[in-house]
Amino acid sequence: MPLAPAVPPRQSDDAPRHYALVPCAGTGSRAGTAQPKQYQAVAGEPLVMHTLRALAGVKRLYAGLVALSPGDDFVWPEGSAWPALFARAHCGGSTRAHTVLNGLQALRKQGARDMDWVLVHDAARCLITADMVNELIDACASDKVGGLLALPLPDTLKQSVAGRVDRTVPRDDKWLAQTPQMFRLGLLQHALEAQAPTGFAGVTDEASAMELEGHQPLLVVGSAYNFKVTFPQDFGLAQAVLAIRSPTFQKGPL
């Protein structure tokens, strides 16, 4: 499926473009599903489709790419059921960082430039909204590094040893990282390539790769709704939020 911008283009050619990159090559082993969690039905359709449709509602996004594992055989919606902003590519790697790096290279082959912004978003954060993404874009527009949605840690943080509390960790400067994470394509690709020889050790998200290169990403306050579906109980919570958001919501199987 070739990568192509929306028609007409959403941004002028001489301005930095905004691309969405959705890594979709993981298995989600903690979710307890028989298939990769991004394909589990929530509200009657695959979880990842809620994610893609939300991102497709961001008018400033020029184009998007879903990065799939090479052996992915999921049957995707086509025609009007597919968000036209996105293309799909079987470029997934053995880790998330590897998948993102391959996705950046795929975007570059299709015309993305060093100066362009790439917003990397978890497929399993299906409650993202266009407003959240636009707040991130506005906050990072003039930033030299870029940044990410995140939440100040609301709870008391404990450090454990052998299943028991060892100590309480001060939470005043602690944040919970979310996505999207928005960086210039050239800077992010360089940061990931620098960590590739280590097997991406220490790279847990795009911001951590940037940190390892000496950058300090901007923290932009996100939303508690923008949680990552990770555990079995999270599917029900995601469906409940979708039901609240849409008065025409049709309850489907989890």
Residue 160 has a CB neighbour count (10 Å cut-off) of 9
Burial of residue 111 (number of CB atoms within 10 Å: 0-12, 13-18, 19+): middle
Q: What is the pLDDT of residues 54-69, one digit of tens each?
A: 999 999 999 999 999 9
Q: What is the pLDDT of residue 97?
A: 97
Average pLDDT over the chain, rounded to whole? 90
Given the DSSP bridges, would you call strands 146-152 and 63-68 parallel, antiparallel or unpaired? unpaired
User: Quick one: which of 31, 30, 48 has its CA closest to 39?
Assistant: 48
Q: CA distances (Å), 79 to each of 76, 82, 89, in order?
A: 10, 6, 17
User: Which one is predicted more confidently, 146 or 13?
Assistant: 146
pTM of the prediction? 0.90
Q: Are 27 and 89 in contact (CB under 8 A)?
A: no
Residue ranges covered by each domain of the chain? 18-245
Report, as an integer, the average pLDDT of 5-21: 70
CATH architecture classification, 18-245: Alpha-Beta Complex (3.90)
Q: What is the pLDDT of residues 117-132, one digit of tens each?
A: 999 999 999 999 999 9
Report, as an integer, the average pLDDT of 231-241: 91
Query: Mind spelling out the 3-state secondary structure of 98-167?
Result: HHHHHHHHHHHHCCCCCCCEEEECCCCCCCCCHHHHHHHHHHHCCCCCEEEEEEECCCCEEEEECCEEEE
Q: Is 185 helix (H, G, I), strand (E, B) or coil?
A: helix
